[in-house]
Amino acid sequence: MRVVVAITLMLSLFICGKGRAQDITWYKHIAPIIHNNCTPCHRTGEAAPFPLVTYEDVAKRASMIQRVTEARYMPPWKPDSHYVQYANERRLSDEEISMIANWATHDMPKGNAGDAKDKQNFVPGTVYNRPPDLVLKMKESYRLEGDNQDHYIVYKIPFELADSMNVEGVEFITNNRKVIHHANYEIDDVPGMDIYNTADFVDYTNEKVKYFENYVSYRKRIMYFGGWIPGASMESYPEHIGWVMPKRGVILLTVHYAPLGKAEDVLSGIQIWTTKSNITRRIKNESLGSGSESQKQIQPFFYLPPDVVRTFSLDVKIEEDRSLLYVWPHMHLLGQVFKAYAIKPDKDTIPLVYIPVWDFNWQEIYWFPKMVKIPKGSTIHIEATYDNTINNPYNPNLPPALVMENMNTKDEMMTLVIVTLPYKDGDENISLK
């Protein structure tokens, strides 16, 4: 018996590293871990089901928090950190996980408020310590029926500003995150045309309305294209890099809503942070694979017969030196594995993203810590595996059915969005944090 106690004691000393388990307190150790890694989603208005802000919020769920952190289920982070580490990585260290475990199993001591390393009053999380300079939202909130169906709706948000604006950060906003499956938005420069004459929204769920058909006339000058998916954060750029918000135009916001059992109201839009310094280098968002020009080069031809597991690949040549800021892999419910890397002309490879266990609910735009140079003549290689069998618990068709390439959740996609700039000397040293 005494031996067991001694071993347990040694073990807990070993795991905790920094001294006795009882020394681990909320103020000194746990609050900073929670506020940095959990609170951005676990607070009112965000995606998670309950807040993790105050001592009480966390202490009453301590054993559940111990369990989900030890299993690395929370915070959700899907890319393999051994392949690439990103600036926006959400991952606890082994030491942080054992600190939580020790705290949870030793009566969750609160400690001294004087030890608090962070301010405790969590300020909702953007990278800027100031409110946005521009908020543009739908004219009125939209009533979604609880009809257990997917809905696809394009909202038009026209705007006229005093002047154009240099953008250094942009974020999708909504008052009802949990109903949104994903959102895309484009900002179109429409200097002359009437931006008020068409409807404020088009529902293309049931009618065979072609994607954007009603608004196609605006799309000649897309200034920016962005998106939000559950778990995703905002986009921001280093100095002199970004895009320009035109003086007059429209935002076309496409929202895909997940099936709902009861009616809900939603009001969404975007918010923008601007900068006085010139934007001398404009970013380019580009899709590779489904929904882009390179779609037809996917090998083999992209479709998924029932009862198959199949891997596809795509090679896209890069014609000039480019600097890569972000990557955003995208598949739907049959997706299993996603990997992308660049092969340089000298055959060296640059790892871009590897998601060994794809999870549709946790997609994200991944930021490189510093810009990555993709030299002229490189090939971006993408490979993705899909499981259209009954063994895939997320398969939307039971029994499995033929699945083609398209935007709907029940169809499939193989897309890598890359955000790049023409390369300039020294870009490798510019931090994106």
For residue 282, give the DSSP letter.
E
| Residue 38 vs 266, nearer CB to ligand HEC | 38
Contacts of 8 by beta carbon, 8 Å cutoff, 6+ apart: none
Q: Which residue is listed with tokens 């909202």?
A: 155
Is residue 41 at the binding interface for ligand HEC, with CB under 6 A as the rule?
Answer: yes
Site residue total, ligand HEC (CB under 6 A): 20
Q: Which stretch binds ligand HEC (CB under 6 A): 23-31, 69-77, 147-155, 406-414?
A: 69-77
Distances (CA, A) of 226 to 252, 322, 344: 11, 20, 28
Is residue 37 at the binding interface for ligand HEC, with CB under 6 A as the rule?
Answer: yes
Q: Which long-range contacts (CB under 8 A, 24 or more apart) does 390-395 make?
A: 390/307, 392/333, 392/334, 392/336, 394/333, 394/334, 394/360, 395/333, 395/334
| Residue 66 vs 287, nearer CB to ligand HEC | 66
Is residue 28 at the binding interface for ligand HEC, with CB under 6 A as the rule?
Answer: no
Is residue 180 at the binding interface for ligand HEC, with CB under 6 A as the rule?
Answer: no
Distances (CA, A) of 426 to 107, 121, 370: 51, 39, 11
- Tell the smallest beta-carbon distance from residue 121 to ligand HEC (Å): 18
Is residue 38 at the binding interface for ligand HEC, with CB under 6 A as the rule?
Answer: yes
Is residue 49 at the binding interface for ligand HEC, with CB under 6 A as the rule?
Answer: yes
| Residue 39 vs 290, nearer CB to ligand HEC | 39
Is residue 79 at the binding interface for ligand HEC, with CB under 6 A as the rule?
Answer: no
| Residue 227 vs 249, nearer CB to ligand HEC | 227
Residues 87-116 that bind ligand HEC (CB under 6 A): 90, 92
Contact 113, 27 (CB under 8 A): yes
- Tell the smallest beta-carbon distance from residue 85 to ligand HEC (Å): 17
Is residue 74 at the binding interface for ligand HEC, with CB under 6 A as the rule?
Answer: yes
Is residue 231 at the binding interface for ligand HEC, with CB under 6 A as the rule?
Answer: yes
Residues 347-406 that bind ligand HEC (CB under 6 A): none
Peptide bond into 399 cis (omega under 30): yes
Give the closest residue to 185 by CA, choosing from 265, 272, 126, 125. Answer: 272
- Tell the smallest beta-carbon distance from residue 47 to ligand HEC (Å): 4
- Tell the smallest beta-carbon distance from residue 89 to ligand HEC (Å): 11
Is residue 51 at the binding interface for ligand HEC, with CB under 6 A as the rule?
Answer: no
Q: What are phi and psi of 257, to 5 degrees?
A: -100, 135
Is residue 29 at the binding interface for ligand HEC, with CB under 6 A as the rule?
Answer: no
Q: Describe the crossing of helices 94-105 and 2-16 by its angle, rounded to 10 degrees.
A: 130
- Tell the smallest beta-carbon distance from residue 126 to ligand HEC (Å): 14
CA atoms of 188 and 194, how far apart (whole Å): 13
Give the closest residue to 27 by CA, choosing from 104, 112, 103. Answer: 112
Q: What are phi and psi of 210, to 5 degrees?
A: -75, 145
Chain residues binding ligand HEC by CB under 6 A are 37-38, 40-42, 47-49, 52, 61, 64-65, 68-69, 74-76, 90, 92, 231
